[in-house]
Structures are given as C-alpha cells and as structure tokens.
Structure 1
Amino acid sequence: MAVVESVLSLAPERLRSVLIKHRELLKFAIVGGTTFVVDNGIWYLLKLTVLEPKPTTAKAIAIIVATIVSYVLNREWSFRTRGGRERHHEAALFFLISGFAVVLNLIPLLVSRYVFDLEQPHVSLLVQEAADFASGSIIGMLLAMFFRFWAFRKWVFPDELGGRRRGRL
C-alpha cells in the first residue's frame, strides 16, 4: 500500500472522499511542505552565516535549491500520471515557471526590507527576523505556491498528455 493510501485510510470516510478527489493537490502540498523545510533551512543557514548582509540573495539561492527538489518530487510523485512531454521540454517549462515564481516569492521580502525598512538598525533583530519570515516564507511562498500549482497543471503537466504516461505505469 502506498504512503498516501495508508494515510488516507486513517481519515474519516467523509474527509477521505474529499482528499481522494483532490489527491493531486494533497501530494503537491506534501511536496510543498518538504520544499518549505529545504528552502527555510538553507535560507537561514546562509543568511545567518556567509550571506548575512544579503538576505534576499540567500533567499534566492534557497529557493533555487528547493525548486530543483520540487521538480523531482512533483514529476515523480505529485503529477506522475500527467504530462508526457519530452523530459527536457517539461523541465524547461517547469524551471521557466519556477523562475517567475521565484520573483513572486521575493517581492514581499523586498518590500518588507526595502520599502518598509523592516531591517536593522530601523527595527530590532527580532522584528527584522519576524518580518523576514512572514514576508519571505509565508506570504511570498503562498503567492508562489498558488501560481505554481495552477501553472504546472496548465502547462508543465497538462492532463491531456497524461494518457500516454498512465499507460506506462
């Protein structure tokens, strides 16, 4: 029994039918949670060490690493029954869309730091870090996540190409 099926078997029947109906979204959310940990782990490691004066650069690097992890997990798990394009074409679309999502993810952090001046010495270290987390890891990531889910389903892993891949499972 697959991991998702074993987890779904623990859910109440009413909830289970909703989760099964939205299985792809559930898998996408699990991948998102995994890449959230990768993204924030790398971001804080970089911004508290070698890239301390450059938090936006640290965030961009963290997002790029998390995006690579996201491609592998989404292609092989979340959207494995979709798509069907040549891998290089699919990957190019994935990373193009993800590049746009990186920009969406960085906008709230840039606004927080450089428009609202929520950085030291204008505010305390605690306020700066809370603002960075809220803008870069919550608001920015949510904007990028909604955009990615929509764009991946529409262009990278479209359902009309999925028939060829489902036959190969």
Structure 2
Amino acid sequence: MTVVDNVLSRVPEPLRSVLIKHREVLKFGIVGGTTFVVDNGIWWLLKLTVLEPKPTTAKAIAIIVAMIVNYILNREWSFRTRGGRESHHEAALFFLISGIAMVINLIPFAISRYGLDLAVPNVSRLVQEVADFASGSIIGMLLAMAFKFWAFKKWVFPDELGRRRRDDAEAGDEPDPAR
C-alpha cells in the first residue's frame, strides 16, 4: 500500500471519494507545497545574504532549483501514470513550460518591487518583506502553478501517452522505460 493510499484510507468517505477523484491535483499540490518550501528557503537565504542588492536574481535562482526538484517529483509521483515521451523530450518540454511559469511568477514580484516601489527606502523593511512574500511567493506562485498544471497535463505528461504506463501500474507491473 502506498503512502497516499494509506492516508486516503483514514479519510472519512465523503471526502475520500473527492480526493481519489482528484488524486492527480492533490499530488500536484503536495509537490507544489514541497517546492514552495524549497523556493522560499533558498530565496530568503540568498536575498538576505549574498544577493541582498539583487532580490529578483535571488528569486530566479531559487525558482530554478525548485524547478529541478519539481520535475523529479512530478515525473516520479504526480504524473507517474502519464507521459510516455522520450525522457529528453519530456524534460525539454517541462523546463520550457517551467521557464514560462518562472516569468509568470516573477511578474507580480517585479511590479510590487519596481513598479509600486515597495522597497527600502520608500517603505520600511517589514513592508518590503511582506510585499515581496505576497507578490513573489503567493500571487506569482499561484499564477505559475495554475499555468503549469494545465500545461503539464496538456503537453508534458499527456494522458494519451500514458495509457501503457497506467495499464502497467494497474496490473502491478513496473512501467517499462523502453516503451
């Protein structure tokens, strides 16, 4: 029994049916939460130390590291029964879409920091940090996450390519990487 099956078996029935029906979204959300912690941990570490004068660069670096973690977790867990493209083709599409999502993620932060001038010395350090978090880690990340979920399902891990992997998983076999 997988971890997800174990957790779902303890959830009351009305909610369990909904979670099972939307299992892919749930897994995608868990991966997103994990990479949220990775992204923000690295961003705050960089922007409060070596990249203090360059917060946008710090955010971009943090997003790239989180993107790599995101690919591994989505490929091996969230969309495990989807896909079926050659690995290099799938990875290229994933990182292309993630690059677009990174720009989407950075737009609210850039508007807040540079368009609205919510940065020291125009505002206090507390206001700057709250604005950075709200725009870069909440608004930007939610917009990017919605775009990525749609784009990953449509182009990176399409369902029609994953039928063999899903059939293998349902039969209890390990997916054949050669297929």
TMscore range, shorter length:
over 0.9
* CA distances 1:39-98 after superposition (whole Å, capped 9, x unpaired): 000000000000001100000000000000000000000000000000000000000000
Matched, 1:56 2:62: no
Match of 1:156 in 2: 156
Match of 1:68 in 2: 68
User: How far 1:11 sits from its partner (Å)?
Assistant: 1.1
Match of 2:113 in 1: 113
Can you give the 5+ residue segments of structure 2 that lack an aligned partner in the other structure? 169-173
**Residues of 2 paired with 1:93 and 1:118: CA distance?**
35
4+ aligned runs moved over 6 Å, structure 1: none
**Residues of 1 paired with 2:32 and 2:10: CA distance?**
22
The residue type paired with residue 30 of structure 2 is I
* CA distances 1:4-51 after superposition (whole Å, capped 9, x unpaired): 111111211000000000000000000000000000000000000000
**Residues of 2 paired with 1:108 and 1:146: CA distance?**
15
TM-score by length of 2: 0.93
TM-score by length of 1: 0.98
Matched, 1:104 2:104: yes
* CA distances 1:105-132 after superposition (whole Å, capped 9, x unpaired): 0000000001100000000000000000
Greater RCO structure (CA 8 Å; 6+ sep): 1
Match of 2:171 in 1: none
Match of 2:132 in 1: 132
Match of 2:95 in 1: 95
User: How far 1:164 sits from its partner (Å)?
Assistant: 2.2
The residue type paired with residue 93 of structure 2 is L
The residue type paired with residue 51 of structure 2 is L
Match of 1:13 in 2: 13
Report the aligned-residue RMSD: 0.7
Corresponding residue pairs, total: 169
Match of 1:141 in 2: 141
Matched, 1:77 2:77: yes
